[in-house]
């Protein structure tokens, strides 16, 4: 008789973790651990840094892998150039998605990808048809690297010509901000983010465009590349994402400009042109970008509330953005509209939205509310912060946005742990996380009698 050397418990654990629905959160956790170990290596921190190294390394790694951009330390002064390169690589890999990157490598090296890898990638990219995985992954690789290269060239020229940087430093800054912008990670090479470039259209606008495009989602970008001239042929998902993103951009830009136009601590001292540029940035970045050229700690309460709402909504599905996603938000809006009209079905255009999609949207939204509210209470309990600051930081972490009111670095270890958990959940997705924790594969074979409770 042959006795297996593998323990039954370990074998069962590995089998459970290898399920496609659980691969996604596991890979991000493992990636965060690997990133932490890399940032703890000698030569990653600058000399003279006091205090423990583990917590800053862990927080930075989680924030980079989840493409958030929140940081407890100044990236430019705390990490050496080598450490900054590690952060950049972690952001790029996190933007691809570890599962997607593994699929890309499988295609490039061997030309074949196993069924399990395709299923995991399908979940990572929120695809309906399994056959779409490989073609979309190829387009992701080309789109991401091509767009980042173009933006990096534009930014390099801007840094060199407008701010007197040498070509070497300008190129590094161009590459850095291009990767961070397209991947919606708000890490900046300055303690005040983009405040020193406030109103500079040559830098702020390309970064804002990269953030906006990156937050659309790869399935949408792939469809737009084929059908951008024929909006009537767009899928419902693309219509919701494109028109919803443009609507939120317009609302965010107008509201930011109106509220902050006369604020002496933000837009007040700027010229009209600079105010317009800053308003556009203020409409783009809260969705998931994380950069800021004005201090949100000095912004008016109306602005922080609007930014909190934008961060909670987030960007497009299967993008580098977090939040509940624009499609979820709009579908719930159509649910309300159908109920007000008395329509039995929820319809968008000439299509009916299925009950399973509606349940998923409601689940995502309610789980997100529970997470953000619970985390806000946790931050209030462990840190000396106001309700506004706690809610803003929690929503920023969940939305993988990276905006801060300046209190992230002042949080105790327990508060930073709360934000790290939120960033991981926000990047993986509430539904994928819930499914990974409580997978139910057996379908119900019967229906119970229906009863209608009193609502309202």
Q: Considering only 4-18, 135-149, 225-239, which range has the smallest mean pLDDT?
A: 4-18
DSSP state of 351: E
Chain-centroid distance, C-alpha 285: 11
- The mean pLDDT of 184-210, rounded to a whole number, is 92
Per-domain residue ranges of the chain = 17-436
User: What pLDDT is recorded for position 436?
Assistant: 53
- The mean pLDDT of 67-78, rounded to a whole number, is 92
User: What pLDDT is recorded for position 68?
Assistant: 93
Does residue 3 or residue 214 have the better pLDDT? 214
In this prediction, residue 97 has a pLDDT band, given cuts at 50, 70 and 90, of confident
As a whole number of angstroms, the distance between CA 425 and CA 435 comes to 12
Predicted confidence (pLDDT) at residue 106 exceeds the cutoff of 60:
no
Sequential DSSP letters for 60-97: HHHHHHTT----SS-HHHHB-HHHHHHHHHHHHHHHH-
Residues 6+ apart with CB under 8 A from 288: 184, 211, 215, 311, 314, 315, 319, 320, 321, 322, 323, 399, 400, 401
Does residue 394 or residue 231 have the better pLDDT? 394
In this prediction, residue 1 has a pLDDT band, given cuts at 50, 70 and 90, of very low
Pair type for strands 351-352 and 347-348: antiparallel
Tokens of residue 150, six digits: 């173009």
Rounded percentage of the chain residues whose pLDDT exceeds 90: 55
Does residue 433 or residue 54 have the better pLDDT? 54
pLDDT digits (tens, 9 = 90+) for 270-321: 999 999 999 999 999 998 888 998 889 899 999 999 999 999 999 888 788 8
Q: Please provide the average confidence, as pLDDT, over all residues in the chain.
A: 85
As a whole number of angstroms, the distance between CA 1 and CA 388 comes to 66
Cβ distance 353 to 346 under 8 Å?
yes
pLDDT digits (tens, 9 = 90+) for 351-405: 899 888 888 889 889 999 999 999 999 999 999 999 999 999 999 999 999 999 9
pTM listed for this prediction: 0.87
């Amino acid at each position: 008789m042959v006795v297996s050397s593998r323990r039954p418990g370990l074998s069962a654990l590995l089998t459970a973790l290898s399920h496609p629905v659980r691969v996604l959160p596991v890979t991000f956790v493992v990636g965060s651990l690997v990133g932490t170990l890399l940032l703890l290596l000698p030569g990653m921190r600058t000399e003279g840094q006091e205090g423990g190294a583990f917590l800053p390394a862990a927080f930075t790694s989680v924030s980079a892998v989840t493409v958030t951009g929140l940081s407890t330390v100044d990236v430019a002064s705390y990490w050496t150039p080598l450490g900054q390169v590690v952060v950049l690589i972690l952001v790029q890999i996190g933007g691809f998605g570890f599962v997607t990157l593994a699929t890309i490598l499988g295609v490039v090296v061997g030309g074949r990808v196993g069924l399990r890898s395709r299923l995991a990638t399908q979940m990572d990219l929120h695809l309906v048809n399994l056959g779409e995985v490989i073609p979309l992954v190829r387009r992701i690789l080309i789109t991401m690297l091509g767009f980042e290269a173009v933006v990096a060239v534009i930014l390099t020229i801007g840094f060199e010509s407008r701010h007197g940087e040498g070509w070497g430093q300008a190129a590094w800054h161009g590459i850095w901000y291009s990767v961070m912008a397209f991947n919606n990670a708000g890490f900046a090479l300055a303690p005040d983010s983009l405040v020193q470039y406030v109103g500079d259209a040559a830098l702020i606008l390309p970064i804002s465009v990269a953030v906006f495009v990156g937050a659309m989602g790869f399935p949408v970008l792939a469809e737009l590349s084929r059908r951008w001239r024929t909006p009537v042929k767009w899928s419902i998902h693309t219509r919701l994402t494109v028109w919803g993103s443009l609507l939120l951009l317009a609302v965010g830009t107008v509201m930011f400009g109106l509220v902050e136009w006369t604020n002496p601590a933000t837009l007040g001292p700027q010229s009209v042109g600079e105010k317009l540029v800053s308003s556009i940035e203020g409409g783009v970045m809260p969705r998931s970008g994380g950069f800021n050229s004005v201090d949100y700690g000095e912004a008016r309460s109306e602005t922080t509330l609007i930014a909190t709402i934008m961060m909670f909504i987030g960007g497009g599905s299967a993008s580098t953005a977090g939040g509940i996603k624009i499609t979820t938000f709009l579908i719930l809006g159509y649910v309300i509209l159908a109920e007000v009209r008395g329509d039995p079905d929820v319809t968008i255009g000439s299509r009916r939205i299925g009950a399973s999609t509606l349940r998923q949207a409601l689940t995502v939204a309610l789980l997100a509310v529970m997470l953000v509210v619970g985390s806000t209470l946790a931050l209030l309990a462990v840190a000396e912060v106001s309700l506004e600051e706690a809610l803003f930081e929690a929503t920023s972490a969940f939305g993988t946005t990276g905006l801060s009111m300046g209190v992230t670095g002042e949080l105790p270890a327990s508060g930073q742990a709360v934000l790290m958990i939120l960033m991981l959940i926000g990047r993986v997705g509430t539904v994928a996380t819930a499914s990974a924790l409580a997978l139910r594969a057996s379908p119900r074979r019967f229906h119970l009698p229906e009863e209608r409770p009193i609502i309202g």
